[in-house]
Amino acid sequence: MSTPDTIWKAPVTVAEASDRIRAQAMALLAAREIPADSIEDYWREWETLQVAPNGDVRSFFPAVLLDEVGWLRNGEGYLRLPDGTRWVLASARIPREGALHDNTFLRRLHALLLEHRVLRRPHNSARTTVMLEADTLDVRHVFCTDCRAWCDLQADAEEADRTLGPWPGGGDWRPAPGRADD
């Protein structure tokens, strides 16, 4: 079994370039447009908090947001920004974690997401954390919904490689030295 670092470090092949075009075509299939002023503002709406009757803070998500995020996660929807760009969630491109991908570009994307997740923890699943521009699927300019920030997945993978060392043989999680959550 290949480790994530061996996948993202491998040279890009002609087959992967072709697979990237296939993945871009998949991203264009999303039919439900969700207008948004910005990606940051859209995800900030998810942070709307409401105090429960017992005084505990709980998250409150309007039904329309739940529908929209379901469309994004299932690959049925995309965020349309005022500049005309379309943004899709990585989860709509990548099969379940642990499943083998027949698309080499998606394998590379998943490996980069795993590196980002281990470097920037705590994160949710590596397949759901980032939004990609549908037309380019550019891994160097993504919005991470957990970090609530713009990220460069390639740079994060390189930093994880420098600071955390190689992945254990075949493992799907690389522990970060000195972290209490390991």
Find out whether 109 and 137 touch, Cβ atoms under 8 Å. yes
User: Can you give the pTM of this predicted structure?
Assistant: 0.77
- Residue 180: pLDDT over 50: no
Number of other residues whose CB lies within 10 A of the CB of residue 145: 21
**Domain boundaries defined on the chain:** 4-164
Quick: pLDDT tens for 150-176: 999 999 999 988 888 777 654 444 555
- Residue 181: pLDDT over 50: no
Query: Rounded to an integer, what distance in angstroms lies between the CA atom of residue 44 and that of residue 56?
Result: 20
Query: Rounded to an integer, what distance in angstroms lies between the CA atom of residue 123 and that of residue 144?
Result: 10
Residue type for 76, please?
A: E
Quick: pLDDT tens for 55-81: 665 566 666 667 888 888 888 889 999
pLDDT value at position 179? 42
Quick: pLDDT tens for 33-42: 999 999 998 8
Q: How many CA atoms lie within 13 A of 156 on its CB side?
A: 24
Find out whether 132 and 87 touch, Cβ atoms under 8 Å. yes
Quick: pLDDT tens for 101-141: 678 888 888 888 888 888 887 776 655 578 999 989 999 99
